[in-house]
Amino acid sequence: MTDATRESESYYHLHLVSDSTGETLISVGRAAAAQYSSVRPIEHIYPLVRTHKQLDKAIQAIEECPGIVLYTLTDPELRNRLKTYCQTNSVPVLSVLAPVVRLFQAYIGGAPEPRVGGQHQLDGEYFRRIDAMNYTVMHDDGQHTDGLEGADVVLLGISRSSKTPTSIYLANRGIKTANIPLVPNIPVPPGLSDLKRPLVVGLVASAERVIEIRRNRLLGLNANQPNDAYIDRESVAEEISFSRRLCARHGWPVIDVTRRSIEETAAAIIGLLQEHRRRISESTGG
């Protein structure tokens, strides 16, 4: 096998055609692609495809760079046209929602009522996410700690322990999240241990991981200081120990984010939040 052949087999084209934002396709496509570490997808994303002219551009791109085609198209004409083109030209194609919708239909009965971007309607759930995002931005990095009782989740952690990105991700799921930086010898906000409604969670990571992120942060700011305690291993290890001791003393759960993605960390927090809410409901007789 030549080097050129090996190189051509190290990637493939993945076409994602949607009449909405394409988020569903992106998530499904990336989840499937992650199962094959030896090759990588080159994504071609076509959102808001709702006319034949818009579909023309997608088909032209597929023709120029053949690969796998995933789609979510509500309009039957557009759907059938894309499917026919791919089948005629031996291009692998799949409607990612069709099998799921068929399962729902078999269980619920009756025909579905297709709606373009149905999951993105401006309903109560949408405005709940906006409200959560506003709250989270206002309560980032220890701001407005007098309003913590209004949070669903309060995240604690030392600098560069993924507090802010995790908070934003949770907010996008409609979960009001505040985050508070932990610094040794500096007291946490008064009343934190007395919170009743919010779930308080500590985020920690290995010293090596924290140092790596902090060093990259300093380099990005052109402020690298090799001897600074900010990236000194002994100092960082003490910060981590301090945060673990604090959480243990108050009975707050701790999540190690060293090898977790933001999505995995958020999923773990959501699981803890559900259990936390169940306990509150049982204790109040709700």
Is residue 6 within 8 Å of 36, Cβ to Cβ? no
Q: Is 9 exposed, middle or buried (0-12, 13-18, 19+ CB in 10 A)?
A: exposed
The annotation status of 157 as a binding-site residue, yes or no, is: yes
Q: How many CA atoms lie within 13 A of 280 on its CB side?
A: 12
164, 179, 180, 196, 217 from 140: Cα distances, Å? 7, 5, 7, 20, 18
Sign of the C-alpha dihedral computed for residues 243, 248, 253 and 254 taken in this order: positive
Please state, in angstroms and rounded to a whole number, the distance separating the CA atoms of residues 129 and 150.
Answer: 15
In which residue are the tokens 């269980």 written? 107
The annotation status of 159 as a binding-site residue, yes or no, is: yes
The tokens for 183 are: 């610094």
The annotation status of 176 as a binding-site residue, yes or no, is: no
The annotation status of 67 as a binding-site residue, yes or no, is: no
The annotation status of 158 as a binding-site residue, yes or no, is: yes
The annotation status of 164 as a binding-site residue, yes or no, is: yes
Sign of the C-alpha dihedral computed for residues 86, 98, 15 and 2 taken in this order: negative
End-to-end CA distance of the chain: 67
The backbone torsions φ and ψ at residue 180, rounded to the nearest 5 degrees and listed phi first, read -130, 125
Contacts of 261 (CB under 8 A, 6+ apart): none
The annotation status of 162 as a binding-site residue, yes or no, is: yes
Q: What is the DSSP letter of 157?
A: E
Residues annotated within a binding site: 157-164
**Binding-site annotation, residues for ADP:** 157-164
